[in-house]
Chains A and B, each alone.
Chain A
């Protein structure tokens, strides 16, 4: 048994399990030991489920012995704490749900369980997934394994930090405006947000229902392909789930890159993009050209309105989705309420953090009488324009490339003073959510010792193409193999 199990890929780990080089229990113990050793510092997990993990691992060992194991049997993973996990505390990083033990599994959790993964715990995140730095978590921010003074990104910051710190080879996340891609970029991981409707939303605490989508973090496109194959698929419990077959994403990795047209939207390379980050993305574009792809200059004229559109649609839906947290059936309840209104107002005022309350208020405001047309309806129309921009672009190109974030990870506390400065960092990621498109971030360089990512966006249900293009890049480069010191 090697001490560097946390540096192996998912396929290598699966091979080791099949070869009996180590058992699933030993594998789980290895990662659990790493969590114990380092998570006090990184704060990637809210809950570590050691006992449940070892039970899962024993089941995996039995399946391995019986010859019924699949590609993910025995592979450890962490779930973002927004996924309901039966019998396990599910907090959404909020005081509101501090004591909430989920009564059922999210479909994505159940599917991964079915595939034999071993869940090690629940990952830290921004409260109710609202934030881009993990600093809104009730349990304190996750730290970036590359530099603990810096943010791991958000909202799925704990998932990213966990994989980047070598606590698990895989992690689930959700992405409403970039919450998988941005932390993936800032921690040197490959992170995918699938097409809206590709993965079921059942059992994911809703933030913005028309934008939310489950995704995942891994070290490579290959590992992600394995994970996505197990997560995706139609779910009759979700009316917005797509009735589309799940392809063999691993097989799709072999799609050739030659002849593929990749669009480079000029709007993604305008003012606001850090020069070194932009240069890293341009180097990746050059790499794609050398690999046989055709690079086309394109324009997405309305994409500049993505952030304002997003910050109307998402808070509006959030204000509605979070109305159910009222201290009556579950969650935080204020002490000795004077009356019903007092029960509601104080339970919610105490249970929700500041950023969540800000977004609820913005959402309630833009939906309220007299403002609906000017804000919400207008945003839905601009959303249509943005989606149409992409549709037009994809008539010509197969993929779109750009940066994932304007800069590498910034320091914790650096952007806490004005919410808007932080919102504007979502500039490259939110448009894919607005249009429901699959998008992926993969590491493409280092800026002053910190990883930066490139973003690939595809047409709806082109996850296979995104993964294949990333895989081709990762075969030719080694950015995805760089590791933070803690993970070495």
Chain B
């Protein structure tokens, strides 16, 4: 499987990564070479094999429903590039 510059543009957009036009063919070549390597997987016979999502054979633990966190908004928002009146700010979104 190989990717062209156009496909790279689309996947970069999907992942919200600004990529210069000049970089697109470079990425296309690099990503294609990774995908070619990865294509070895197609040779494996996996018929009837369960996909493995976790290395440990455990089940989800459940937490008691109790309020245990008292968030320190000021401390968290000291890390924010832009916050005002307790809100995080982004360019205006209109639906």
Interface, chain A (partner B; CB < 8 A): 100-101, 103, 196-197, 210-211, 236, 239-240, 242-243, 302, 305, 307-309, 311-312, 319, 323, 326-333, 337-346, 348-350, 352, 357-358, 360-366, 368, 374-375, 377-385, 387, 418-420, 423-424, 433-437, 460
Contact = CB atoms under 8 A, between A and B. Distances in A.
A358 B30 contact: yes
A348 B18 contact: yes
Contacts of B54: 210, 240, 436
User: Number of contact residues on B: which range applies?
Assistant: 35 or more
Contact of B55 (A311, A350, A387): A387
Interface of B: 3, 8, 11-19, 27, 30-31, 33-42, 44, 46, 49-56, 58, 60-61, 63, 72, 75-76, 79-82, 88, 90-91, 93
Given A330-B79, A330-B80, A381-B46, A368 B11 contact: yes
Given A240-B56, A361-B31, A385-B46, A345 B17 contact: yes
B16 A341 contact: yes
Given A101-B79, A340-B93, A382-B49, 12 more contacts: A103-B76, A240-B56, A305-B41, A308-B38, A340-B91, A357-B12, A368-B11, A368-B14, A380-B53, A381-B50, A387-B52, A420-B37
Contact of B75 (A103, A312, A328, A364): A103
Contacts of A211: 55
Nearest to A365: B11
Nearest to A196: B55
A377 B47 CA distance: 12
A329 B80 contact: yes
Contacts of A349: 17-19
A339 B93 CA distance: 8
Nearest to A423: B37
A-B CB proximity, top 8 nearest: A436-B55, A349-B18, A380-B51, A333-B81, A381-B46, A384-B52, A345-B18, A344-B16
B9 to A, nearest CB: 10
A397 B56 CA distance: 20
Given A328-B81, A338-B91, A340-B90, A360 B17 contact: yes
B56 A100 contact: no
B40 to A, nearest CB: 5
A419 B41 contact: no
A342 B13 CA distance: 10
B17 to A, nearest CB: 5
Contacts of B41: 305, 308-309, 312, 375, 378-379, 382
A419 B37 CA distance: 11
Contacts of A360: 15, 17
Interface centre among A332, A342, A374, A382 (most CB of B within 10 A): A382
A352 B18 CA distance: 10
Contacts of B8: 361
Contacts of B90: 328, 340, 343
A196 B80 contact: no
Given A210-B53, A339-B91, A374-B42, A358 B18 contact: no
26 contacts: A103-B72, A103-B75, A236-B63, A239-B61, A240-B54, A308-B38, A328-B88, A329-B79, A338-B91, A348-B15, A349-B19, A352-B17, A361-B8, A362-B34, A362-B35, A365-B35, A368-B14, A380-B53, A381-B44, A381-B46, A384-B49, A385-B44, A385-B49, A433-B55, A436-B56, A460-B56
Contacts of A382: 41, 44, 46, 49
B27 A384 contact: no
Contacts of A239: 60-61
A216 B51 CA distance: 30
B34 A210 contact: no
B6 to A, nearest CB: 13
Contacts of B58: 197, 240, 242
Contacts of B18: 342, 345-346, 348-350
Contacts of B33: 418-420
B22 to A, nearest CB: 13
B63 to A, nearest CB: 8
Contacts of B11: 361, 364-365, 368
A378 B37 contact: no
A327 B81 contact: yes
A154 B44 CA distance: 29
B37 A384 contact: no
A357 B14 CA distance: 12
B17 A348 contact: yes
A256 to B, nearest CB: 29
Given A305-B41, A343-B90, A346-B18, A420 B34 contact: yes
Contacts of A345: 13, 16-18
A350 B16 CA distance: 11
A307 B61 CA distance: 31
